[in-house]
Amino acid sequence: MTSLLRVLILEDDPNDAELIRRLLADQFVLEVTRVQSKEDFDSALKTERFDLILAECRLGSCDGLSALAVALDLCSGVPFIFVTGTAGEDLAIEGVKRGASDYVLKTRLTRLVPCVQRALREAAQLTALRRSQAYLAEAERQSHSGAFAFDANGSLYWSEGLYRIWGFDPGQGVPSRMWQRVHPDDWKRFRKVVPEALRNRRDFTIEFRIVLPDGTIKHVRSIGHPSYSDAGDFIELVGITTDVTEAKRAEEEHERLRQLEADFAHLNRVSVLGELTASLAHEILHPIASARNNARAGMRFLEMIPPNMHEVREALACVVKDADRGKDIVDRIREHIRKAPPRRERFDLNAAITEVVGMVQNAIDRSRVSVRISLLEEAAPVVGDRVQLQQVVLNLVLNALEAMSSLDDGPRQLFISTMASATAGIVFAVHDTGPGLAPEQIHRLFKPFYTTKPTGLGMGLSICRSIVDAHGGKLWAEPNDPRGAVFRFTLPATAQAS
């Protein structure tokens, strides 16, 4: 051993002290402090740090046992060895009972070095053990967990962290009635899990709730692993319990927010459709009017003498087509109003856009806006929820129309396009020639409840962004040249539209 060994020797005989020092110096690099009285011993321990304490049992002024008591109090991990004459042997034995590491008789000083070596080794092991225990305790604290174990003899172990989770005092030992703290609704499952695991020789995982005396409820997850001897006998079960209350709350909160978002998205769709009533009514009236004309024509062909049955059949086929068209429109509206879980299907974004433009045609006409549409030639195949993405397009187009309707002069032009991009997939854009966006506005547009309209909800863009995000795309706004705003979103392209 090459590191410095700091030794405190309590010895009033200078010759003995010197002998001890020499014996140790053969084996260790030493720094020796010798004291002769209990007072000096106490103050040395208080002011300095030592790696080893050697003490005579019978001193003129005191006995070694009171020195031991002080050492155990001030530096309990430091090995303490009595080095004493035969007359002190009984005292030394008593000292070892009280916590001294060992004793060596002065008549057999050859034992001193091996005895010191062993005491130092044990002290180092003890320190390492205490340190790892402290680390484990800290790890339990940080991970909100605790360990448990029981063996075939029925001996039960609970770690500090487990006491903390169950809300018991470690000083009282493992509580015999901890099951009283299991939530009544979970008790049936709880009592079955360990016997079942043992019966099936399998690991178990169980989530249950703990109710503390003050009413606090904790959600915990326990996992356990039984082990067996080669002969198949149960040896022990070791497990860990983790307090998952916070994670559970976060999960619930997340679910609540997701639900809220879905509710808002639904609300937005319904309220936007409300704004479009005029447009939609017009769209439905169209096939109805057409059906009426075709029916009348059919009647006229029937009234002919003889009736022209060929034309009648033709007219009736047209009526059926008109009715189908009307039904399609109503189905589409219903689809938008319905509160359905998100879908994943492959569809053509171009067709979905054309449908939306149809829905807002009346609003476009009303706001005296000229529209130019330039869509990808073939198709724009994407995967996702068609209705949700139509909602995004609808919101962006309506925003553009609303922005331009506040203009007193200047052209009102709406440009809707889809383009293919090598990096981003498919890019959808709405250009308008409205008042445009102030630089400080651009960051706030997509925040919930940001609106500059007297009756605006300010949820439109925030919903659009979360829908586009959920589809793996991006939505952003930029100034248009020379005036107005551009809103663009990207969607990953897929191979083929079905």
**Could you give the C-alpha distances from 44 to 39, 59, 76, in angstroms and in order?**
9, 17, 15
Using rule CB under 5 A, residue 434 touches Mg ion: no
Using rule CB under 6 A, residue 413 touches ligand ADP: no
Residues 462-481, mask of contacts with Mg ion (x by CB under 5 A): --------------------
**Which of 24, 67, 437, 467: binder of ligand ADP (CB under 6 A)?**
437
Using rule CB under 5 A, residue 399 touches Mg ion: yes
Which of 12-20, 193-201, 211-219, 428-436 is the region at the interface with ligand ADP (rule: CB under 6 A)?
428-436
Residue among 322 and 432 whose Cβ is closer to ligand ADP: 432
**Which of 114, 456, 472, 492: binder of ligand ADP (CB under 6 A)?**
456
Which of 205-213, 249-257, 353-361, 396-404 is the region at the interface with ligand ADP (rule: CB under 6 A)?
396-404
Residue among 165 and 463 whose Cβ is closer to Mg ion: 463
Contact partner at residue 272 from Mg ion, ligand ADP, none, CB < 5 to 8 Å by partner kind:
none
147 contacts: CB under 8 Å, gap ≥ 6: 140, 157, 158, 159, 161, 162, 238, 239, 240, 241
Kindly state the smallest distance separating residue 490's Cβ from Mg ion, in Å. 20
**Which of 35, 53, 55, 403: binder of ligand ADP (CB under 6 A)?**
403
Helix or strand run (H / E) with residue 383? strand 381-384
**Which of 88, 224, 434, 460: binder of Mg ion (CB under 5 A)?**
460
Residue among 3 and 455 whose Cβ is closer to Mg ion: 455
**Size, binding site for Mg ion by CB under 5 A:** 2
**Cα gap 6→13, rounded to integer Å:** 20
Using rule CB under 6 A, residue 293 touches ligand ADP: no
Using rule CB under 6 A, residue 224 touches ligand ADP: no
Contact partner at residue 84 from ligand ADP, Mg ion, none, CB < 5 to 8 Å by partner kind:
none
Task: Classify residue 3 by burial, with Cβ atoms within 10 Å: 0-12, 13-18, 19+.
Answer: exposed
Q: In 10 A of CB 430, how many CB atoms?
A: 25
Task: Classify residue 440 by burial, with Cβ atoms within 10 Å: 0-12, 13-18, 19+.
Answer: exposed
**Cα gap 101→115, rounded to integer Å:** 9
Which of 82-90, 392-400, 410-418, 478-486 is the region at the interface with Mg ion (rule: CB under 5 A)?
392-400
Contact partner at residue 210 from Mg ion, ligand ADP, none, CB < 5 to 8 Å by partner kind:
none
**Cα gap 263→297, rounded to integer Å:** 47
Residue tagged 């100034």 (tokens): 479
Task: Classify residue 371 by burial, with Cβ atoms within 10 Å: 0-12, 13-18, 19+.
Answer: middle
Specify whether the backbone of 154 is left (phi greater than 0), alpha (psi in -120 to 50) or beta: left
**Could you give the C-alpha distances from 57 to 42, 52, 69, 93, in angstroms and in order?**
15, 16, 13, 10
Give contact residues for ligand ADP (rule: CB under 6 A): 395, 399-400, 403, 432, 434-435, 437, 445, 450-453, 456-462, 485
Give contact residues for Mg ion (rule: CB under 5 A): 399, 460
